[in-house]
């Protein structure tokens, strides 16, 4: 018995330990018991087999003696956590056995305290299920298991259903028996009226938490029963979600556990210890007396079979066994009792839902010290998945073999070297081989006539080149006679699309040399082929018709009959007689072309006669034309809708949804064209407008009226601007006008005057009269600026001057204006307040591992949601933050938020945060990072900090020291925008970066750009050589993704995968990944 006895063991626990040992000695699953120092106390036979040790080898030993250090450390850490918290854990782990095998285990660990003479003995009990071989089978059943998971986990007593907000709307009839109240009384929140006052706050708190978080609800409480007394119940519920993850209903079960509560109080301490171990195992455990009558079954038996303890004890458990298996099971147990021997039997067990599970039942005799039989103890393990997989494999192999062996021809499968791999029954009979005789003497070059060697070898060479070959050869069969064989050889393709085997069919045509036999064989083969072809054509998804060269219909499959609305009487008739309108159509033109040129044609065309779009493939032959066609109307409609949708999306991406005017993107593109295409002596004017008094109208009458006002403003601006000009909406009440081809200042001056005058006219907004005004700032290109950014900035400065001069004014830009600086000062002040008012938020863009297509981390990107201006671009406020020094405070806030929000993600998904060079000058950057990690509880290995080359350009020595301090925290460091500076490669020597991120500028012209391709290839090579992860930014097309994947990049980031999204949407991205 692999159990270490010790004087430290209390004698009062001896009986319990003996029982446990007797149970687990024959336990199918490995069971390991350790003391508080993680030294082995007990290993059953299965556990010894797993670790490759003998029972005598475990004294004073631990996991370090059998497993790699890292794995042993993790296991012992879990043991200490369980001893410290007293909580059980069920988890999956992978270990490397002393034999070098990698095994996947599902381990159930919990702490058990046994009484001892000096002090209670605290043990860690691990029940292990080796699931390595079952994982593939589990994947096939996972969808079904998920569907029934909630039903399997809950004991059916009083079912109930609630809305997503927690209002009960359905209750089972058993509610009346338990509570004495009608089910309708529990609707809404009426169920709470019968809960014990002491328990009600806890129940309501947990129910509210489950509704808020969407987690399962599970609570035990007392309710007033029909007799007026309080009874203990367990109430559980789980949410049902739709495809988007939203909760649609809560499904729950209320279970009467009052008797269990009373029984638990009366159970003896030793029995409680045993039940603690037995009931926590993931298998069914049983015990019998010396006569073989069942005296104990653990809870797993009832949960699996639906039998209560009273029903199952004695011999009642036999009622759960399949009727066909009961006699053999009973005989096996009777024999075991008579011989006092272990028992092992497989049978079918009825589950509570009425289905049958295959199980393996293992039992061991329990003997007294004198050898007298006390009874048996054992376990029952569900092996349905394994049994089903084995049965399916056996049936599949039998089916394939039956087809293979049913052929009267010799069928041979050989490898590309000519070695025979498989030969059917007819082949073995032909060559006189026994069913189990080896095939090594049956190579083709050992059976064909010497005169045919060259011909046969040539045929097999064609097959190796993915062709099908047919030839005749002469062989000597086992009867001593020479046989003439007609051989068909075809390639068998592997997963890579290349031939990996050669399949040959050898037909004995010796007697077929006579003309009569050949004719009969030919006729039979033709009929068989016709039947097979007809079967294939009937099973195809396409419509098929066959026409002779006189355009007579000779064949139609059923799908063609249905689509063309023709019957068997149409066979033999001219197709153009049946469809005269199509005689000169595109269909007829293609058909005649196929016959004339003797080449197949494929086309798509609309048939007015059928009112359908058809995809047609017409193939000519000596007898006529075979036409395959299918209805593609739905596909054409979908393609048309897709094109329309794409056009609409493109328009929406470049136009303002409210006014229909071009948006900022469209405006910038037009302004770029105008600046690039300026003619001699001509210029372009940019007029910037914002509305005076719009906010007052919007606040007074609401957003609908404000929206109507903006639409009318857009209409008036369109009427003011000549056809060649552009009006765009670039903000809430901000508009711009591009006036091309101006000859002098009078053109924009006159246009600005017209705009101001037209917008001063009162607006009629569905009965509301509103009067507003506008101010206009004018900048000229190329006089004032030659780039879009400079021209926009100049027009904004001019607009500020116009507004300062009073409403209803316009102003031309002058180089001496300093209003731009004032605007940046205002933005700086607003940004400082934004940190206080909570206007900033963090969005995330995923980084995708190219090998697995999974999201490995998300980059944190700060966004400013201004209460008046809406979302402000980082390009506008980050430079201000850098100039003002606010970037240090802003960067610390982003780091705290990113760490805090990332803790809600899966443990294998990290978060990446950008650092500014100014944060390194603050002097406490490592402490800031440490505080963020400690406050959030995020593992340091999940945090990655990104820096640019500019960090290293300034005070390189101190900044390197800071990076080393951060690295010692366990955080990874990435170099961002790699390759944009002159010293990027040099800094890879200065500091061991974990990752390099290639700037998006290097992939914009991929895959065509040769220089960019050479650069990213070089970066990928550097990453491989230095063992550094390589990531490419800005991937927006499939072609770019294919290019960087081919070069060996590890990760990619860009709009192809996702734009930056708010934190609330990250979980959806991860689920899709």
Q: In angstroms, what CA-CA distances link 140 with 395, 445, 564, 566, 842?
A: 17, 44, 42, 44, 39
Do 199 and 169 sit in the same domain of this protein? yes
* 459-480 residue pLDDT tens: 999 999 999 999 999 888 777 7
Q: What is the CATH number of the domain that holds 897?
A: 3.20.20.450
pLDDT of residue 921: 81
Residue 404: pLDDT band with limits 50, 70, 90: confident
- Specify which of 115-129, 912-926, 986-1000, 1045-1059 reaches the highest per-range mean pLDDT: 1045-1059
Q: Are residues 219 and 147 in the same domain?
A: yes
What pairs with residue 231 in β-bridges? 223
Higher-confidence position of 296 and 845: 845
What pLDDT score was predicted for residue 154?
Answer: 44
Asked whether residue 345 is assigned to any structural domain, the reply reads yes
Q: What is the pLDDT of residues 872-922, one digit of tens each?
A: 888 888 887 886 788 899 999 999 999 999 999 999 999 999 999 888 887
The DSSP output letter for 174 is H
**Same domain assignment for residues 531 and 508:** no
- Higher pLDDT residue, 681 or 423? 423
Supply the pLDDT for residue 276.
Answer: 67
Quick check: helix, strand or coil at residue 638?
Answer: helix
Label residue 174 by pLDDT band (50, 70, 90).
confident
Distance CA 780, CA 764 (A): 34
Residue 840, Cα to own-chain centre: how many angstroms?
31
Is residue 788's pLDDT more than 60? yes
Which pLDDT value is given to residue 764? Answer: 92
Same domain, 717 and 858: no
In a domain, 41, yes or no: yes
**Tokens representing 966?**
């951060």
Which run of H or E residues covers position 516? helix 515-539
Q: What pLDDT score does 731 carry?
A: 86
pLDDT at 115 over 60: yes
Structure confidence at residue 16 (pLDDT): 52
Which residue intervals of 853-924 are DSSP H helices? Answer: 874-884, 886-902, 917-921
Query: SS3 letters for 922-978?
Result: CCCHHHHHHHHHHHHCCCHHHEEEEECHHHHHCCHHHHHHHHHHHHHCCCEEEEEEE
Beta strands 158-162 and 121-130 are: unpaired
Residues 365 and 337 in one domain: yes
Instruction: Locate the DSSP E strands across 368-433.
Output: 373-382, 410-415, 420-423
**pLDDT of 271 higher than 90:** no
Could you tell me which residues come within 8 angstroms of residue 456 by beta carbon, excluding any fewer than 6 positions away?
444, 445, 448, 471, 473, 487
- Of residues 353 and 429, the one with the higher pLDDT is 353
Say if residue 323's pLDDT is above 80: yes
State residue 1000's pLDDT score: 86
Give residue 622's pLDDT: 84
9-23, 231-245, 813-827, 912-926: least confident range: 9-23
697 and 670 together in one domain: yes
For 659-674, the pLDDT digits (tens) are 999 998 889 888 988 8
Most confident of 53-62, 513-522, 821-830, 833-842: 833-842
Residue 532 has pLDDT above 60, yes or no: no
> How long a stretch of residues is the chain?
1073
In the listed set 87, 112, 132, which residue is the last one of a domain according to the structure? 132
Whether 270 shows a pLDDT value over 80: the answer reads no
pLDDT category at 939 given cuts 50, 70, 90 is very high
Is 6 inside a domain boundary? no
pTM value is: 0.32
Cis peptide before 782 (omega within 30 of 0): yes
Give the span between the Cα atoms of 873 and 850, in whole angstroms: 30
pLDDT band at residue 1030 using 50, 70 and 90 as cut-offs: very high
pLDDT bin (cut points 50, 70, 90) of residue 1007 is confident
How high does pLDDT run on average in the chain? 85
Q: Are strands 854-866 and 910-914 parallel, antiparallel or unpaired?
A: parallel
Torsion of CA 275, 281, 282, 285, to 10 degrees: -60
Partners of 656 in the β-ladder? none
Same domain, 1035 and 1063: yes
Residue 914: which of 885, 883, 940, 951 has the closest Cα? 951
What digits encode the pLDDT tens for the residues 582-596?
A: 888 888 899 999 998
Domain-embedded: residue 4: no
**How would residue 5 be classed by pLDDT, with cut points 50, 70 and 90?**
very low
CATH classification of the domain holding 301: 3.30.450.20
Asked whether residue 782 falls in the same domain as residue 870, the answer is no
pLDDT at 757 over 90: yes
Report the C-alpha gap between 908 and 941 in whole angstroms: 10
The span from the CA of 213 to the CA of 573, in Å, is 70
Which of 11-25, 372-386, 696-710 is predicted with the least confidence, judged by mean pLDDT? 11-25
Q: Measure the CA–CA gap between 670 and 781, rounded to whole angstroms.
A: 13
Q: And the tokens for 401? A: 């073999």
How many domains in the chain? 7
Residue 948: pLDDT band (50, 70, 90) is confident
Task: Quote the longest CA-to-CA distance of the chain.
Answer: 120
Measure the N-to-C terminal CA separation of the chain; round to a whole number of Å: 50
Give residue 399's pLDDT band: very low, low, confident or very high (50, 70, 90): low
- Mean of pLDDT values over 757-780: 92
The CA distance from 456 to 461, in Å, is 9
- What angle, 0 to 180 degrees and rounded to 10, lies between the N-to-C axes of helices 664-676 and 633-654? 70
| CATH number of residue 753's parent domain | 3.30.70.270
Does residue 396 lie in a domain region?
Answer: no
Burial tier of 833 (Cβ tally within 10 Å: 0-12, 13-18, 19+)? exposed
Distance CA 346, CA 455 (A): 57
Please enumerate in sequence order all residues whose Cβ is within 8 A of that of 330, keeping only pairs 6 or more positions apart, or say none: 318
Instruction: Look at strands 158-162 and 168-171 and give their pairing.
Output: antiparallel
The answer to whether the Cα torsion of 450, 452, 456, 457 is positive or negative is: positive
Considering the domain architecture, whether residues 345 and 376 belong to the same structural domain is answered as yes
Q: What pLDDT is recorded for position 920?
A: 86
Q: Is residue 276 part of a domain?
A: no
Let me know whether 867 and 990 are in one domain. yes
Same-domain check for residues 232 and 317: no
Peptide bond into 1007 cis (omega under 30): yes
CA distance 1015 to 994: 20
Is 70 exceeded by the pLDDT of residue 78?
yes
What number is the average pLDDT over the span 792-799?
90
φ/ψ region of 598 (left if φ > 0, alpha if ψ in -120 to 50, else beta) reads: left
Give me the percent of the chain exceeding a pLDDT of 70. Answer: 86
Inside any domain, residue 76: yes
Structure tokens at 561: 């009959």
The two beta strands, 910-914 and 943-947, are parallel
pLDDT category, 369, cuts 50, 70, 90? confident
Q: Are strands 1029-1032 and 1051-1052 parallel, antiparallel or unpaired?
A: parallel
Considering the domain boundaries, does residue 399 fall inside one? no
- pLDDT tens by residue, 480-503: 788 898 999 999 888 778 898 999
**pLDDT at residue 9, rounded to an integer:** 42
Task: Give the domain-ending residue among 198, 227, 261.
Answer: 261
- Could you tell me the sign of the dihedral formed by the alpha carbons of 278, 284, 290, 293, in that order? positive
User: Beta-carbon neighbour count of residue 1049 at 10 Å?
Assistant: 23
Average pLDDT, stretch 55-60? 81
Using alpha carbons, select from 227, 44, 83, 255 the residue that is nearest to residue 157: 255
Q: Give the pair of three-digit tokens for residue 224.
A: 């007033």
Distance CA 366, CA 355 (A): 33
Q: Which of 843, 822, 788, 899 is nearest to 1063 (CA)?
A: 843
Q: Which of 448, 481, 512 is the last residue of a domain?
A: 512
Whole-number pLDDT of residue 10: 41
Over residues 1025-1036, mean pLDDT: 92
For the stretch 121-162, pLDDT in tens is 889 999 999 888 887 676 666 655 555 444 434 445 788 999
Q: Which residues span the domain enclosing 1049?
A: 830-1072
Q: What is the Rg, in whole angstroms, of the alpha carbon atoms belonging to the chain?
A: 41
Same domain, 476 and 619: no
pLDDT at res. 651: 72
């Amino acid at each position: 018995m692999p159990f270490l006895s010790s004087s430290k063991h209390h004698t009062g626990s001896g009986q319990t330990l003996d029982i446990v040992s007797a149970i687990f000695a024959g336990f199918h699953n490995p069971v390991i018991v350790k003391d508080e120092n993680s030294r082995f106390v007990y290993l059953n036979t299965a556990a010894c087999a797993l670790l490759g040790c003998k029972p005598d080898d475990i004294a004073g030993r631990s996991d370090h003696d059998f497993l790699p250090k890292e794995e042993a450390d993790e296991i012992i850490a879990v043991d200490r956590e369980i001893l410290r918290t007293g909580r059980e854990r069920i988890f999956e782990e992978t270990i490397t056995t002393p034999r070098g095998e990698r095994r996947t285990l599902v381990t159930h660990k919990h702490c058990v305290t046994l009484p001892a003479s000096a002090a209670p003995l605290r043990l860690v009990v691990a029940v292990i299920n080796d699931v390595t071989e079952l994982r593939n089978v589990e994947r096939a059943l996972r969808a079904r298991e998920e569907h029934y998971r909630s039903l399997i986990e809950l004991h059916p007593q009083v079912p109930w259903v609630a809305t997503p907000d927690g209002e009960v709307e359905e209750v089972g009839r058993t509610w009346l028996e338990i509570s004495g109240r009608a089910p309708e009384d529990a609707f809404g929140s009426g169920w709470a009226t019968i809960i014990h006052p002491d328990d009600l706050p806890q129940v309501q708190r947990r129910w509210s938490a489950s509704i808020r978080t969407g987690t399962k609800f599970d609570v035990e409480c007392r309710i007033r029963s029909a007799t007026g007394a309080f009874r203990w119940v367990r109430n559980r519920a789980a949410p049902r979600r739709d495809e988007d993850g939203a909760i649609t209903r809560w499904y729950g079960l209320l279970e009467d556990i009052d008797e269990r509560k009373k029984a638990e109080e009366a159970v003896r301490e030793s029995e409680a210890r045993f039940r603690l171990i037995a009931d926590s195992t993931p298998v069914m455990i049983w015990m019998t007396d010396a006569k073989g009558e069942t005296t104990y079954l653990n809870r797993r038996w009832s949960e699996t079979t639906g039998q209560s303890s009273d029903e199952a004890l004695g011999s009642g458990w036999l009622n759960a066994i399949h009727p066909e298996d009961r006699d053999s099971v009973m005989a096996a147990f009777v024999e075991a009792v008579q011989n006092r021997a272990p028992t092992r039997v497989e049978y079918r067990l009825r589950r509570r839902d009425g289905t049958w599970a295959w199980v393996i039942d293992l039992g061991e005799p329990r003997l007294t010290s004198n050898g007298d039989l006390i009874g048996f103890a054992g376990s029952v393990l569900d092996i349905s998945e394994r049994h089903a997989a084995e049965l399916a494999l056996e049936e599949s192999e039998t089916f394939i073999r039956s087809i293979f062996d049913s052929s009267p021809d010799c069928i041979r499968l050989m490898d590309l070297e000519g070695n025979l791999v498989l030969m059917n029954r007819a082949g073995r009979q032909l060559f006189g081989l026994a069913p189990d005789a080896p095939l090594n003497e049956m190579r083709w070059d050992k059976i064909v006539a010497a005169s045919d060697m060259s011909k046969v070898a040539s045929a097999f060479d064609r097959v190796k080149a993915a062709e099908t070959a047919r030839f005749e050869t002469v062989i000597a069969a086992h009867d001593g006679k020479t046989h003439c064989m007609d051989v068909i050889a075809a390639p068998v393709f592997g997963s890579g699309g290349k031939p990996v085997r050669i399949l040959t069919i050898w037909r004995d045509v010796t007697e077929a040399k006579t003309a009569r036999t050949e004719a009969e064989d030919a006729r039979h083969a033709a009929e068989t082929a016709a039947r097979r072809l007809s079967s294939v054509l009937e099973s195809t998804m396409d419509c098929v018709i066959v026409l002779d060269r006189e355009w007579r219909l000779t064949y139609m499959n059923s799908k063609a009959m249905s689509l063309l609305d023709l019957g068997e009487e149409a066979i033999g008739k001219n197709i153009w007689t049946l469809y005269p309108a199509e005689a000169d159509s595109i269909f007829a033109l293609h058909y005649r072309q196929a016959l004339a040129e003797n080449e197949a044609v494929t086309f798509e065309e609309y048939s007015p006669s059928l009112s359908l779009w058809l995809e047609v493939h017409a193939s000519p032959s000596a007898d006529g034309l075979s036409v395959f066609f299918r209805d593609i109307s739905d596909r054409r409609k979908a393609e048309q809708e897709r094109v329309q949708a794409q056009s609409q999306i493109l328009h929406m991406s470049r136009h303002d949804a409210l006014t229909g005017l071009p948006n900022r993107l469209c405006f910038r593109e037009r302004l770029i064209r105008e600046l690039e295409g300026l003619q001699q002596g001509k210029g372009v004017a940019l007029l910037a407008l914002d509305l005076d008094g719009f906010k007052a109208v919007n606040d007074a009458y609401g957003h609908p009226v404000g929206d109507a006002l903006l639409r009318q403003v857009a209409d008036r601006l369109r009427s003011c601007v000549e056809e060649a000009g552009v009006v765009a909406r670039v903000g809430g009440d901000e508009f711009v006008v591009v006036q091309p081809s101006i000859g002098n200042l009078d053109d924009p001056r006159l246009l600005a005057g017209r705009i101001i005058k037209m917008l001063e006219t009162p607006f009629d907004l569905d009965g509301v009269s509103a009067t507003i005004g506008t101010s206009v700032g004018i900048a000229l290109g190329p006089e004032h600026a030659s780039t879009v950014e400079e021209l926009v900035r100049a027009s904004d400065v001019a607009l500020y001057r116009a507004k300062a001069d009073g409403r209803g004014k316009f102003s031309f830009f002058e180089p001496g204006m300093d209003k731009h600086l004032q605007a940046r000062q205002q933005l700086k002040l607003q940004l400082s307040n934004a940190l206080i008012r909570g206007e900033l938020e963090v969005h995330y863009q995923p980084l995708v591992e190219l090998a697995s297509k999974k999201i490995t981390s998300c980059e944190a990107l700060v966004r400013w949601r201004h209460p008046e201006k809406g979302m402000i671009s980082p390009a506008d406020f980050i430079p201000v933050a850098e100039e003002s020094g606010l970037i240090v405070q802003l960067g610390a806030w982003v780091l705290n938020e990113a760490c805090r929000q990332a803790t809600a993600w899966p443990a294998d998904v990290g978060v990446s945060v950008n650092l500014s060079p100014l944060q390194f000058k603050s002097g406490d950057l490592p402490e800031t990072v440490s505080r963020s990690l400690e406050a959030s509880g995020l593992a340091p290995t999940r945090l990655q900090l990104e820096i640019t080359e500019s960090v290293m350009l300034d005070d390189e020595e101190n900044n390197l020291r800071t990076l080393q301090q951060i690295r010692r925290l366990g955080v990874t460091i990435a170099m961002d925008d790699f390759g944009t500076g002159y010293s990027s490669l040099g800094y890879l020597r200065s500091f061991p970066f974990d990752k390099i991120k290639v700037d998006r500028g290097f992939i914009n012209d991929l895959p065509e750009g040769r220089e960019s391709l050479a650069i990213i290839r070089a970066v990928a090579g550097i990453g491989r050589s230095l063992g550094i992860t390589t990531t490419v930014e800005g991937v927006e097309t499939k072609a770019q993704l294919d290019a960087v994947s081919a070069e060996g990049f590890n990760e990619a980031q860009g709009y192809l995968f996702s734009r930056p999204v708010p934190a609330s949407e990250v979980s959806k991205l991860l689920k899709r990944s």
